[in-house]
Amino acid sequence: MIEIEPLHTQVQKTIQTMFGIVVLEEPGGFPFNESNLYCIGHSGDLVWKAEKPEPSGLYNRVMLNMDGNTISAYAITGQACEIELGSGHLLSQVKIK
């Protein structure tokens, strides 16, 4: 198992996938110009950082979807997002009221 060193805050959640380990860091104190949701490959290298729905849209929840190819994540700015697991690309977003 790879030791996950957080980039800025502390690791809130990890999800083991065929693409690597998806890491969600605590949004409090995380720089807004970066994404706090990212994937570390099995060799320990950074594979991707998830696209954000807006510049200050850090994530606070994440889960692996049943299809095994996407994750659902919720941003502190009020969006529910679907993210491609292989690339971190934002596939869709819906504003939650």
- Which burial class, exposed, middle or buried, applies to 85 when counting CB atoms under 10 A from its CB (0-12, 13-18, 19+)? buried
Q: Which amino acid is at 94?
A: V
Please say whether the beta carbons of 69 and 84 come within 8 A. yes
What is residue 32's predicted lDDT score, i.e. its pLDDT?
93
- Go through the domains of the chain in sequence order and give each one's CATH number: 11-95 (2.40.10.480)
Query: pLDDT 10s digit of each residue in the chain, 97 long?
Result: 678 889 999 999 999 999 999 999 999 999 999 999 999 999 999 999 999 999 999 999 999 999 999 999 999 999 999 999 999 999 999 998 7
pTM of this structure: 0.94
